[in-house]
Structure 1
C-alpha cells in the first residue's frame, strides 16, 4: 500500500493504484473546474494534470473515499517556469528545488486535520528526497494560511479572474517546522476548547460523582457499605416513586433481561409495543425467553395512544396479562404517555412493564403503578455506566426456573447484594442521585430543547418527532439529502460538540441526535445552534 502513516481513521499514503489515480482526477476536476474556474468543464468530469506522469501524489483516504491530495515533482521545467521568466533569480542559493502542486480537499473535511496530515507527510517526503526549497502557486483564498506556515511570496499574481494564484517559496526545513508549529497550535486550541457533551451516554459527570467513583474501594460485604447501598436504593425509589429496586452489575439491557425473566414465570400472554430500535430489542429479548406475546409495531418516530392500543387488543380477541414497552424510545426521542399507559393497564387488569432507561431523571417519572421497570446508572441519572436497576412495587420470591444472576427475588432475599458489586460504582450512583434529588432541571431542559428545535427549523433541520410526544432530552433530526450525518457529526465534533450519530441505525437513516441528558447551559446551546447553521452552510457549499 505504500502507507506513510495512519491518523485516527485516515490513511495517508503515496498514490500507487489505478483506482486512486482516478479519484485524484475527479477531485482535481471538482477543485480546479467547479470550485476554482481554472480549467474548462468536460463531460467526463475528470481533469488529468499535464504533469501527471511526473507527479508524486500524497493522498488522504477515509475508508475508500479520497478526501485530500497534494502533489510534488522535482523535474524542470516547473509549471512556474512557463509563467515566470528567470524563475531562479527570485530565490537564493538553493540547489535541489521541488514544486508543490494541486492541493485538493473535499469540502466536508476542510475544518479538520486532513490538511495538516497531508502537509506533514509531504514535508517528510521532501526531506527524505533531500529537496531544500519548495515552490508553490497558492490560491489567494488561502494566503493567510500559507504565510502562517512560512511561505514567502514573490512575483505578482498569476492566473485569471476567479482563479488568481500567488507564486511563493519556502525552505523545506522551514516548511516542516511551520507545519509542525501550526498543527500543535490547532491541537492546543482543540484541547482548550470546551467540549459540549450532547450524547445519550456517557453524559458529563459531576466532579462530586467522579470523586465518589475514585474513592478507595471497599468490600461489598462490609457493614458501612451495605448501609450506603441501601441508602442508594431508597433514594432511587424516592426519585421515581417506586417501592423497591434491585441493582445488578451490567447495562440497561441486562435490566430488561431481568424483566423478561420475571415475565417468563407468569406464563401468560402479553403485548409489546415497539416503534424504534429499543422497542424492537424488547421483542428480541422476549423471543429468546420464549415469552407468549404479540407485538404491536409502528413506524419509527410514531407514538402509541391508549385508544389504538385498546383497539389492537380488542381486534385480536385475546386475554392479555401484561404490557411491555419503552417509555422513552431513545432511537427517535418519542416519549409515551405514562399516565395513559398505567390507567389503561389498571382498567384492563394488566401488568405494566417499562424500559425506563432513557426517561428516568430526564423527565418526571412516576413508577408507582408499574409492575417492573428497568433503569441504568448512566444517561440522565448522571453517573457512570455499569449498574442496571429494576424497580417494582409487589412482593417477590426467588425462583429456580431462571438463572440465579437474573433472579430479582433472589436479590431481594439477599438484601440486594448476593454477588460482588463495585463499591466505586455504587458510591458514584448514590452521589449522582443525591444531586438529582436536590435540583431537578426538568423545566430548564425543556426550555433549552424548545430553543434548539426552533433554531434548527430555520436552517431546514427539523426534528423527526413533534415536540408534543417527544422527550425534551432527545432531539433526533434527519439530515437533508446530500448531507452525510457522519460528516456533519465529525465537523461538529471538531468544533467541540459531541453528538450521537455513530450508531448503525442512525447511520442507516442519516440521522443525528442532540441529547440533553447531562448538564448544558442556555448560552452554550445558542452558540451550538449558530455552529450548526454554519456547518450546514459549509457542507451545502453556499
Structure 2
C-alpha cells in the first residue's frame, strides 16, 4: 500500500514538552531506520491523516521508496521525524500537473521533497526546529548532488509551514476537492540557506557581528562567574602576571599594564604621557577613531598637527613622509584598525617612517590586538581593551609599552602608568572577575582564529562584493578593499534608497546583530559586519542571504 506523494505534516500545535536529551539528524542508511520509516509513515498517513487504508502489519512503504533519500531525526534510538526527497523523473507532481515544466523557472536539476512526518511531541517548530533541521539535512544532501530547485506538493492546511520553510506557490491547485494540494518551489541554494537560518533560530540563538560587545565563549562567561578575589591577594597577582605575559607574547610589546576602564581611558593614559614630552606631535585620522585621537589631543591641550585623510582612504607612504618632513613632530599617534571603515593602517609603514625621523610612535590598537597577528615592537605606547577582538567582557583598559614611561606623580592617579610598577601592576582596585574572563579569552589557538577570520572575510567579500542581477540597483559597496582592510571588519555603504537603520533592525529581529546604531554610521547610512570574539560560523553562512532579503535583492549563486 502506498502513500500519497505529498509533503504533508499533521497539525503542529499538539505537542508535548521538549525531551531533555539531544536530537540527532542524518541521512537514513541502516535497515532498522528504514523499517522505522515505514512505521512512522503508517502512523502519520494512515492512523493520523487517513489517506490510506489500514493494514494488519501497521507499516506503509512509499511507492517511491527505492528512489527516496530520507533525512531522519532520532531521539534516544527512536525515529521521531523524517522527510524524503528524490530527483528521478517523473515526479509525483508530473502526474498531477502534466505540463509541470512549463511552470518552472530556469534550472539545472530539480528534486522533489515529500513525506514530512514528525512525532507529536516534537512538532512545535519554534521550540524544536525539527522541521527545519530535517529540511536542512535533505537540502544540503541534494545540493551536493547538483540539484538547484526543490519542489513540493503541499496540503493547503500546512501552507503557513511551507512558507516558513521558504517555499513559494506556483501553478494551479492539484489533487481532489477533498484533498487539494498547492505546488510550491524554492531554489535549492536558498532552501539550504533558509533552513540553516531556521535551525539557527530554533535554538533560540542570536548571533553578534558587532564590534562590541562581542560574543563570548562559554569558558569566558564561566570565568566571570568565579568567586571574587582580593586584588591584593596572591591568586590575583599571579593571574595578573600570567595575563600580562600573554598580552606581551600576543603583541610583541615589552610590558602590558591593565586597569579598570575602556579604550577611551587607555587613550587618555597615552595622552597623559604625551603631555609630559617636549615638542609637538602629529595625529593621523582617516575615520571616526582617528578623529577621536584628535579630540584627545585637543582636550589634553597637546601641541599637534593633524594629517587628515578621507574616511576609508589608506595612508600612503608619500603623504606620511611629506607630513613628517614638513611638521618634524616629536611623536606620532595613529589608529591601527579604523573600525568605522574597516581600514587597516599599515603599522610597518608607520614604524619605519618614525624610526627614520626619530619620532616616538603611539597607536590605538583597541580593535587591532587579537584581530590579526600584531607586532608592536618599536611602538612606545599602544592602547587596547579586554573586549573587542580579545573576546572578553569590556571593562579593562590596557596600555602596552616599550621603553621608559614618564616619571610618577605628574598625572591623575587613575592614568599614572608609572605608578603601576612599584605596586606589582595593581596601584588600586581591580576586578578579579574581569581579569579571570580575560585570561580565559586569551587561552585560544590564535593562529587558527586568525586563519578562520581571513577565510570568512574573503568569503563575505566574494558574496557581498559581487555584481547583482542587471535589473537590481546595486544595494551596497564594501567601503575598503581587502588590500587595505583589517580582515573581519566590513563596512557596507548602502545605496540611498536603503536605510541602514531599517535593515539593521530587521536583521536583529531575525537573529543577527550588526553595527548600525552609532551616530557616525547612521549619518553615513553604513552597516557593519565585525568578526570579533566568538562569532558564530553557522550564522555567518546564512547572513548574506538574510541581508540580501532585507535589502530586497537576490545574490547570485556562488
Give the equivalent residue in structure 2 for 1:324.
Answer: 333
CA distance in 1, matches of 2:202, 2:340: 30
Structure 1 runs not aligned, ≥5 long: 1-142, 149-186
Moved over 4 A (4+): 143-148, 187-191
| 1:305 partnered with 2:320 | no
CA contact (8 A) 1:397 1:413 kept: no
Q: Match of 2:350, SS?
A: helix
Deviation at 1:292, TM superposition (A): 1.0
2:495 corresponds to 1:472: no
State whether residues 256 and 401 of structure 2, in contact with CA within 8 Å, keep that contact through their aligned partners in structure 1: yes
Alignment match of 2:221 (pick from 210, 230, 245): 210
Is 1:453 the counterpart of 2:468? The answer is no
> Which among 531, 536, 539 is matched to residue 551 of structure 2?
536
Aligned CA distance change for structure 1 residues 189 and 277 (closer, same or farther; 3 Å): closer
**Structure 2 residue aligned with 1:196, among 207, 225, 228?**
207
Q: Is contact 1:398-1:413 (8 Å) kept?
A: no
Q: Distance in 2 between matches of 1:260 and 1:267?
A: 13
Q: Is the 8 A contact 2:215 2:535 kept in 1?
A: no
User: What whole-Å deviation, never above 9, does each CA across 1:250-304 have from its counterpart, x for those lacking one?
Assistant: 0001000000000001131110000111100001111111111100001111111
Structure-to-structure mapping, 1:161-176, within 5 angstroms:
none
Residues 267 and 291, structure 1, Cα contact 8 Å, conserved in 2: no
Aligned 8 A contact 1:361 1:436 in 2 = no
* Structure 1: distance between partners of 2:251 and 2:364: 13
Q: C-alpha deviations, 1:309-329, integer Å up to 9, x for none?
A: 111233x3x331111010000
CA distance in 2, matches of 1:313, 1:396: 24
Correspondent of 1:233 among 244, 258, 261: 244
Describe the superposition over 1:376-423 as per-residue Cα deviations: whole angstroms up to 9, x where unpaired: 000110100000000011123533321111111011221210100100
Post-superposition Cα deviations, 1:319-341, rounded to whole Å, max 9, x if no partner, equal 31111010000011100111111
CA distance in structure 2 between the aligned counterparts of 1:211 and 1:398, rounded to whole angstroms: 39
1:319 to 1:494, Cα distance in 2 relative to 1, 3 A: same
Is 1:347 matched with 2:362? Answer: no
Q: Please give the alpha-carbon distance, in whole angstroms, between the structure 2 residues aligned to 1:263 and 1:278.
A: 18
Whole-angstrom distance in 1 between the partners of 2:477 and 2:157: 37
After TM superposition, give the deviation of residue 480 of structure 1 in Å. 1.3
Deviation per CA, 1:43-89, whole angstroms, max 9, x where unpaired? xxxxxxxxxxxxxxxxxxxxxxxxxxxxxxxxxxxxxxxxxxxxxxx
- Secondary structure of 2:253's partner? coil
What is the match of residue 267 of structure 2?
256
The one of 390, 410, 413 equivalent to 1:381 is 390
* CA positional deviation for 1:522: 4.8
- SS, match of residue 517 in structure 1: coil
Cα distance between partner residues in 1 of 2:545 and 2:200: 19
**483-492 or 458-467, which moves further after superposition?**
458-467
Inter-partner Cα distance in structure 1 for 2:267 and 2:426: 19
Confirm or deny: 8 A CA contact 2:379 2:401 kept in the other structure.
yes
Conserved 8 A contact 1:397-1:410: no
Q: Report deviation, 1:436.
A: 4.8
Deviates more, 1:408-417 or 1:418-427: 408-417
Decide whether aligned partners of structure 1 residues 144 and 419 sit closer, same or farther in structure 2, where only a CA change above 3 A counts: farther
8 Å contact from structure 2 (residues 286, 309) kept in 1: yes
Task: Please give the alpha-carbon distance, in whole angstroms, between the structure 1 residues aligned to 2:538 and 2:384.
Answer: 31
**Partner residue, 1:137:** none
Return the offset for 1:532.
1.5
Q: TM-score, normalised by structure 1?
A: 0.63
1:210 CA displacement = 1.0
How many pairs does the alignment contain? Answer: 357
How far, CA to CA, are the matches of 1:488 and 1:512 in structure 2?
A: 9
Listed as ranges, the matches of 1:364-403 within 5 Å are: 364-396=373-405, 398-403=407-412
Following superposition, the deviation at residue 511 of structure 1 comes to 0.3
Q: Which deviations, in whole Å up to 9, do the C-alpha atoms of 1:409-442 show, x marking residues without a partner?
A: 01122121010010000111111112255x5411
Superposition deviation, residue 466 in structure 1? 1.1
- Residue 526 of structure 1, aligned match among 528, 537, 541: 541
Shift of 1:454: 1.5
